[in-house]
Amino acid sequence: MSYKILALDMDGTTFKSLDDIVMENVEPINKAIKKGTKVVFVTGRPIHTKLNRLELFDFSSDGAIFAAFNGALIYDLKDKKAIDANPIDKETALKAFELLKSDKDFSEVELWAYTVDDTLSYVSMPIEKAKVLKHETNFFDYEPVIFEQGMEMLDCHKILTMNTNTKFVNKLKELGLEVSWTEGSPAGEVTKKGINKKYALEFLSKKFSIDKEEILAMGDGANDVPMFEYAGLSIAPANAHDEIKEKATEVSEYTNLEGAVAKAINKYILGE
């Protein structure tokens, strides 16, 4: 099988975390791009952050795509423009924030909302008082704004629910939102209903007239399950969560830190 799209998760798969990319992966990714494979980062991350280390890759050709926010924003890296966007509408995003006041069990839940304004994120509490929110500040040079009653909410590409619980996640789902979260995990990712990594692969498949059987996907977490259900070949690194391993066509014997991505590219795309 010749794989024409390589869909890669970032954290826990191609990267260790933040900007700590597994350098072993860089050369094989660039070789795959040179060969004509469309290498697409399909990630929960935002696009416009230096931590993505996109300068390491030859994303200068037509069809160089980045699927951010679990598919809520699909971006053309060459032309530097969005080609598809499906944000959570501002009314629903506001309801998500208002949920925090509705139950004492939600008093410690933290929200981070990525608005459609690339320079504005809303948070539900001061960073210094939060348990998990501080991690997300690593992606930006700007300070998030504490959302308060009376402020104008914007449409949001994605909302992170941090230090969360099952009860709150179920309430978000009742609002009609898509929630990717594993119980016990510090954060869940919230998008518009039907917008997930599978949506991103379907969009790319149609755009480039590529059959889903010609897509190879790699990921390690709950938000990767939808794209594993779509891709022709899905590979989980050895460090992946059990639920994603169960959905994978193949579980690598290597972890992300041992270059699972590089080894899969060498085998299935470069034939080395």
Summarised one tens digit per residue, pLDDT across range 116-158 is: 999 999 999 999 999 999 999 998 888 999 999 899 999 999 9
How many domains, in total, are found in the chain? 2
Same domain, 94 and 159: yes
Give the model's confidence band at 272: pLDDT under 50 very low, under 70 low, under 90 confident, else very high: confident
Q: Which CATH number belongs to the domain containing residue 118 in this structure?
A: 3.30.1240.10
**Which pLDDT belongs to residue 27?**
98
Last residue of a domain, one of 168, 192, 216: 192
Phi, psi of 104 (to 5 degrees): -60, -25
**Which pLDDT belongs to residue 183?**
87
Span 60-76, mean pLDDT? 95
Same domain, 215 and 180: no
What residues make up the domain containing 188?
A: 90-192
Last residue of a domain, one of 192, 214, 231: 192
Span 218-232, mean pLDDT? 96
User: How, if at all, do strands 15-17 and 20-21 pair?
Assistant: antiparallel
Average pLDDT, rounded, for the chain: 96
**Which pLDDT belongs to residue 19?**
79
Q: Cβ neighbours of residue 137 under 8 Å, at least 6 residues apart?
A: 127, 143, 144
Same domain, 204 and 79: yes
Exposed/middle/buried for residue 149 (C-beta within 10 Å: 0-12, 13-18, 19+):
exposed
Q: Report the share of the chain in percent with pLDDT over 70.
A: 100
pTM (2 decimals)? Answer: 0.94
Same domain, 47 and 165: no
Give the model's confidence band at 232: pLDDT under 50 very low, under 70 low, under 90 confident, else very high: very high
Which residue, among 269, 272, 271, has the nearest Cα to 39 in the 3D structure? 269
